[in-house]
Chain A
Amino acid sequence: MSALPTPEDLKAQIEAGVAGAVLTVIPNGSPSAQHSLLLDNEHARAVAFFLRDHPDLCLDYCSLVTGIDWLDRETTEKVKVKRVVDGPDGSQQETEVEETHKTKHPGYLEAVYHLFSMEKKHGPVILRVRTGNRTDQTSIPSLTPVWRSAEFQEREAFDLYGIVFDGHPDLRRILMWDGFVDFPMRKDYVPPADDILATEAHR
């Protein structure tokens, strides 16, 4: 088993090999230490081809493709700031007060690809691609032209998460039926009432 470069080295190698590609290393805090690389949407497919066809990396096998739903979230941060306030006797004093800062992080959908090499018997290299948001910018490039094994799994991520894979040869629902409207794996999915079968859409 040959060793893979560290995520940082791999990032540098890809950025040198694919013109214009911008990657970010996403660290993983778990003991598994499987760190991943976030790709920019524009160069995702070029990077995928690079990783597959590189003679040393030779990541010919895309094992797992999956979607993840990250909701909008808000983080609060307590910061101590110096303020000039009116003292009880009317004079101006400088004191330290605590303020809470709220930051909004917009949600997004994410596709994760686990790559291995059957030739070199190493892996995994984990790639992530993110959509702009969860509502109207849900398109990311499909990697099915690079690895056929993504075909059904991208269809599944489309079916259950609503990620639209541009360039997928046959993007249809795969597990749910064709008339189904929602995306059941999303975190904010509300299951329909029990009388669903009586409604018009599902007759």
Chain B
Amino acid sequence: MTHTVVDLDPIGIGEGEIMEVSMGPHHPSTHGVFRMDVRLEGERVVRLKPVFGYLHRNHEKIAEHGAYLSAIPYTDRLDYLCSMTNNWGYCLAVEKLAGLQVPERAEYIRVIVAELTRFQNHAGLVGFLLQDMGASGTPLMYAFREREKVLDLFESLSGARMMCNYMRFGGLRVDASAAWLDEVRQLTARLPRFVDEFENLLRSNEILMARTQGAGVLSRKLAINAGVTGPMLRASGVNYDIRKVDRYGIYDRFEFRVPLGDHGDVYDRYMMRILEMRETVKILEQALRGIPEGPIMDPKVRLRGLRPKAGEAYGRIESPKGELGFFLISDGSTNPYRYRVRPPSMINLTILEDMCLGQNVADVVITLGSVDIVLGEVDR
């Protein structure tokens, strides 16, 4: 963690008080291969530049070389904790581009798996964040115990725990059985207790409050201008949830609230996740009550050899990390002329320096932890 690096502009002689630290790329607090070039004056951060791209494989080029269908498994690997929502974002964009309809049952199952994804992502994030703060092990194990139950459900539905490759434009790959839905119902009934337990463990913990309140503050104005989205934006008090704004899929049928913070600090971002987990449970309950019988795939959709009319479309969803969008341009052939991912966790990193300036090194770690990045998506 403490080797110096050759930097863009060398430090002048006489400023010997300033030290350069390269945090990462191999450091547990960076949640993957991510590096921060940090300049410190004593313990205080005076400059911080995020450096990434270690995991870059040019996902967009790969997708442009393949047919529309063949990009779906690659989207699993963007944010590898939330493959279901990645699938949905991409399928939504293709559906807009080609004007496809999705059967009602498929819409319900999409909501169910997406909300389960959100739940396990937020639980995992809170666990990791507390791990970063030194709450070694216990909260993370609590979170992972619950996450594993969700992943078991994904495995029995799609065959894979994390790389689900489950959705298709125009519907879903396989139907959910009645037994599977019952299992989801049983799990959903237990989830509020887990959130209570998790919250009681931490909410009024004095050390947690002292560490997180007032750390990594992001103002409302900067958050909007910098295109920050997801729980991080809402922690800064901006009421913008794409499930409410665009009402994509069937989100207009469910009653849920959008939690908002008012300080925009790490504590608010942490609380946002806890509160969103509760709202997620509400959506799950409603979706499981309302799910109809019926087909899961529009039979008219040509999965292989789809040739949308020349044109373009931008489809976006509220992924657990923020606005996940896919921008597609079709030239009338079988593969997209342009395929672009709007990666929420990369854009949320834009203001990392602004949040960290003037803080201690230890606060940089928790500020980054509260952003919720996944390097598979940042680097693509």
Contacts and interface: CB of A to CB of B under 8 A. Distances in A.
A124 B314 contact: yes
Contacts of A55: none
A177 B227 CA distance: 25
Interface stretch (B196-204, B274-282, B344-352): B344-352
A114 interface: yes
A49 to B, nearest CB: 12
B53 interface: yes
A32 B97 contact: yes
Nearest to A126: B314
Interface string B88-106: 0000000011110000000
Contacts of A121: 240, 245
Contact of B312 (A30, A152, A176, A185): A30
B56 A63 contact: no
A32 B99 CA distance: 7
A68 interface: yes
A148 interface: yes
A31 B99 contact: yes
A28 interface: yes
A60 B346 CA distance: 19
B327 A148 contact: no
B53 A30 contact: no
Contacts of B245: 1, 121
Contact of B347 (A66, A112, A153, A173): A153
A177 to B, nearest CB: 7
A184 interface: yes
Interface residues of A, number: 36
B325 A64 contact: yes
Contact of B311 (A32, A148, A174): A32
Among B53, B308, B349, the most chain A Cβ lie within 10 Å of the Cβ of: B53
Given A148-B227, A148-B350, 17 more contacts: A28-B311, A30-B310, A30-B311, A60-B224, A60-B225, A62-B227, A63-B342, A64-B340, A66-B327, A66-B338, A66-B340, A114-B314, A124-B314, A148-B222, A160-B60, A173-B53, A177-B53
26 contacts: A30-B98, A30-B310, A30-B311, A31-B309, A60-B225, A62-B227, A63-B227, A66-B338, A68-B338, A114-B325, A118-B224, A121-B240, A121-B245, A124-B314, A147-B225, A149-B225, A149-B347, A151-B226, A152-B347, A153-B347, A160-B58, A160-B60, A173-B53, A174-B53, A175-B379, A177-B53
